[in-house]
């Protein structure tokens, strides 16, 4: 694993030794140590970090395998005595990227099936999700090797059709969760204001809304100044349409009819959608390719400075963003099949970090709560027996287990979203890619296709948010509107 991670760092020889040592820390044994010694963050947090790191490493590996640079470096490390070849084809390029991401995607699909129906860490299968990191990494790397024995024709079909569809599903899912997050955030702030009548929460709600609108306005002005010069009709249209759309959704949010059917709708949700979609538009115009005739439409291309450093940093930042976004989306998917509804959660002995001198008193209170729940019929009678088993089995291994009562997220949906993310990474890297290019490093997302995907995604996000506002008006029976 250390060798794989250190490949992109060979471009910076002065730091190679130090950083390759740091990269080796992502090996199987170290992952297990980190996940078991994560301190105050529970099992679920450590697990999500580990899977995000695997996705990040896999994405960087597939990126450096897009060109022949990595193969040449490996051959050079072996003093050119060994020539690396993959049958009749190349070990790098379009097919290699899809092979590597297919391997991790298959890895997550297998785990999605194995963890179906797991709702707490008491289930023996939960250990598959939260442990066995050594075998997991070995299995992942084995899948990568095995994919190079699969015929090219399979990956031609996979990359052109299946992976593209899954990538679009990943984008749509991300937009759905963004709109859901906007509503949840505003509603949470309103609940805090109603329950506590706190000026702090009023300031948080008003301040965050105003801040997001100011950020949207600032990004729009920057785009007009730097990316919308004469002749840049595509940029001018994209920026103007985005500006009109976020003004429109803001007006719809406070429309009297919308407020009548959904009193919790307001500018807070619209501001979050506006700042995100404005960011997408700015990202699109700033990542236009540098091989077009109208190079003056993207001043960032003209002022790149050191080409290799810019490309490497940009690619790694993109992969970090994908890994973080995927992890957040995968753990916010309760509405898409999560296990968070309809369950009774009782506080665990170690659920908070307060120091206490009476742990037995807490266990007695918990047992009493369970007995009352059984008497009222809220829980089955065997819940008391399982509680006794939990107390007897509790030890050092459960000191930071935050999923003994119920999982923090749906394991199966988590792995399905990670599978979709691998398809998105492969599509992002290979769409409009020319295998005949001789660059040492491939730029990530700097294509017209990627720019238009971001622009259209922002429009779809506006449409989704608008639908959540007008749906209760058009379909009152579906939303229990009296």
Confidence of residue 310 (pLDDT cuts 50, 70, 90): low
Q: How many other β-carbons are positioned within 10 Å of the β-carbon of residue 68?
A: 19
Answer whether residue 396 shows pLDDT above 60.
no
- Nearest-angstrom CA–CA distance, 424 and 171: 8
Answer whether residue 294 shows pLDDT above 90.
no
Residue 286 tokens, joined: 């700033």
Confidence of residue 269 (pLDDT cuts 50, 70, 90): very high
**Residues facing residue 86 across a β-bridge:** 89
The set of residues, in sequence order, having a beta carbon less than 8 Å from that of 56 and lying 6+ positions away, is: 319, 320, 323
Predicted confidence at residue 230, as pLDDT, reads 80
Judge whether 418 and 166 are in contact, CB under 8 Å.
Answer: no
Answer whether residue 471 shows pLDDT above 80.
yes
Q: What is the pTM of this model?
A: 0.71
Residue 82 tokens, joined: 């060994």
pLDDT greater at residue 205 or residue 432:
205
Question: Roughly what angle, to the nearest 10 degrees, separates helices 199-227 and 233-253?
Answer: 160
Predicted confidence at residue 38, as pLDDT, reads 44
Predicted confidence at residue 212, as pLDDT, reads 94
pLDDT average, residue stretch 388-393: 49
Answer whether residue 476 shows pLDDT above 90.
no
**Residues facing residue 60 across a β-bridge:** none
Predicted confidence at residue 433, as pLDDT, reads 65
Predicted confidence at residue 316, as pLDDT, reads 72
pLDDT average, residue stretch 232-252: 93
pLDDT greater at residue 440 or residue 370:
370
The set of residues, in sequence order, having a beta carbon less than 8 Å from that of 366 and lying 6+ positions away, is: 346, 347, 349, 387
> Lowest-confidence range among 44-58, 209-223, 406-420, 422-436?
422-436
Predicted confidence at residue 106, as pLDDT, reads 96
Tell me which H or E stretch contains 304. none
The set of residues, in sequence order, having a beta carbon less than 8 Å from that of 94 and lying 6+ positions away, is: 66, 159, 430, 433, 435
pLDDT tens digit string along 121-133? 788 888 899 889 9
pLDDT greater at residue 441 or residue 254:
254
pLDDT tens digit string along 337-382? 444 443 444 444 444 444 444 555 666 677 677 667 666 666 665 5
> Lowest-confidence range among 14-28, 177-191, 395-409?
14-28
pLDDT tens digit string along 72-98? 776 666 666 656 666 555 677 788 899
Answer whether residue 255 shows pLDDT above 60.
yes
Confidence of residue 252 (pLDDT cuts 50, 70, 90): very high
- Nearest-angstrom CA–CA distance, 15 and 6: 10
Predicted confidence at residue 65, as pLDDT, reads 84
Predicted confidence at residue 422, as pLDDT, reads 93
Q: How many other β-carbons are positioned within 10 Å of the β-carbon of residue 388?
A: 12
pLDDT tens digit string along 185-229? 888 888 888 888 778 888 999 999 999 999 999 999 999 998 888
Confidence of residue 408 (pLDDT cuts 50, 70, 90): confident
Q: Outline where DSSP puts E strands in 101-169.
A: none
> Lowest-confidence range among 253-257, 405-409, 435-439?
435-439
Buried b (16+ CB within 10 A) or exposed e, 133-167: beebbebbbebbeebeeeeeeebeebbeebbbebb
- Nearest-angstrom CA–CA distance, 476 and 317: 44
Predicted confidence at residue 112, as pLDDT, reads 94
Whose CA is closest to 338, among 119, 171, 175, 131?
119
Whose CA is closest to 104, among 53, 64, 70?
53
pLDDT average, residue stretch 120-147: 90
Ranked by mean pLDDT, the top range of 98-102, 168-172, 391-395 is 98-102
pLDDT average, residue stretch 436-449: 64
> Lowest-confidence range among 148-162, 339-353, 370-384, 464-478?
339-353
Predicted confidence at residue 420, as pLDDT, reads 92
Would you call 42 helix, strand, or coil by DSSP?
Answer: coil
- Nearest-angstrom CA–CA distance, 275 and 293: 30
Average pLDDT, the chain: 75
pLDDT average, residue stretch 441-452: 73
Q: How far is CA 273 from the centre of its chain?
A: 18
């Amino acid at each position: 694993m250390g060798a794989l991670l250190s490949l992109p760092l060979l471009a910076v020889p002065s730091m190679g030794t130090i950083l390759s040592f740091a990269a080796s820390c992502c090996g199987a044994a170290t992952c297990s140590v980190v996940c078991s010694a994560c301190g105050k963050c529970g099992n679920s947090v450590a697990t999500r970090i580990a899977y995000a790191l695997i996705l990040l490493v896999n994405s960087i590996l597939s990126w450096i395998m897009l060109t022949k640079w990595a193969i040449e470096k490996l051959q050079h490390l072996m003093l050119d005595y060994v020539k690396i070849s993959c049958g009749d084809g190349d070990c790098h390029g379009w097919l290699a990227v899809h092979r590597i991401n297919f391997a991790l995607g298959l890895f997550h699909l297998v785990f999605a099936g194995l963890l179906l129906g797991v709702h707490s860490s008491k289930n023996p299968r939960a250990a598959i999700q939260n442990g066995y990191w050594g075998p997991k990494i070995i299995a992942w790397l084995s899948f990568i090797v095995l994919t190079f024995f699969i015929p090219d024709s399979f990956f031609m079909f996979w990359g052109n059709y299946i992976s593209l569809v899954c990538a679009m599903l990943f984008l749509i899912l991300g937009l759905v969760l963004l709109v859901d997050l906007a509503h949840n955030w505003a509603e949470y702030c309103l609940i805090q204001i109603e329950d506590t009548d706190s000026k702090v929460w009023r300031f948080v709600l008003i301040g965050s809304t105003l801040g997001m609108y100011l950020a949207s306005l600032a990004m729009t002005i920057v785009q007009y100044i730097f990316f919308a010069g004469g002749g840049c009709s595509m940029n001018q249209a994209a920026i103007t349409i985005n500006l009109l759309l976020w003004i429109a959704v803001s007006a719809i949010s406070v429309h009297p009819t919308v407020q009548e059917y959904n009193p919790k709708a307001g500018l807070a949700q619209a501001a979050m959608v506006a700042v995100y979609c404005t960011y997408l538009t700015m990202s699109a115009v700033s990542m236009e390719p540098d091989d077009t005739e109208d190079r003056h439409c993207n001043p960032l291309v003209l002022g790149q400075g050191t080409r290799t450093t810019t490309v490497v940093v940009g690619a790694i930042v993109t992969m970090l963003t994908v890994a973080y976004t995927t992890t957040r989306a995968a753990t916010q998917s309760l509405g898409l099949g999560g296990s968070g509804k309809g369950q009774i959660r009782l506080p665990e002995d170690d659920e908070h970090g307060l120091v206490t001198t009476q742990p037995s008193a807490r266990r007695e209170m918990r047992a009493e709560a369970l007995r009352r729940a059984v008497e009222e019929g809220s829980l089955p009678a065997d819940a008391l027996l399982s509680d006794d088993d939990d107390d007897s089995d509790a030890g050092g291994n459960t000191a930071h287990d935050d999923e003994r009562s119920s999982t923090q997220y749906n394991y199966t949906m988590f792995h399905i979203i990670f599978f979709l993310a691998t398809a998105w990474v492969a599509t992002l890297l290979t769409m409009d890619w020319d295998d005949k290019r001789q660059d040492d490093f491939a730029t990530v997302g700097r294509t017209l296709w990627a720019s238009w995907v971001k622009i259209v995604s922002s429009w779809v996000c506006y449409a989704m948010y608008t639908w959540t506002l007008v749906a209760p008006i058009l379909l009152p029976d579906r939303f229990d509107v009296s």
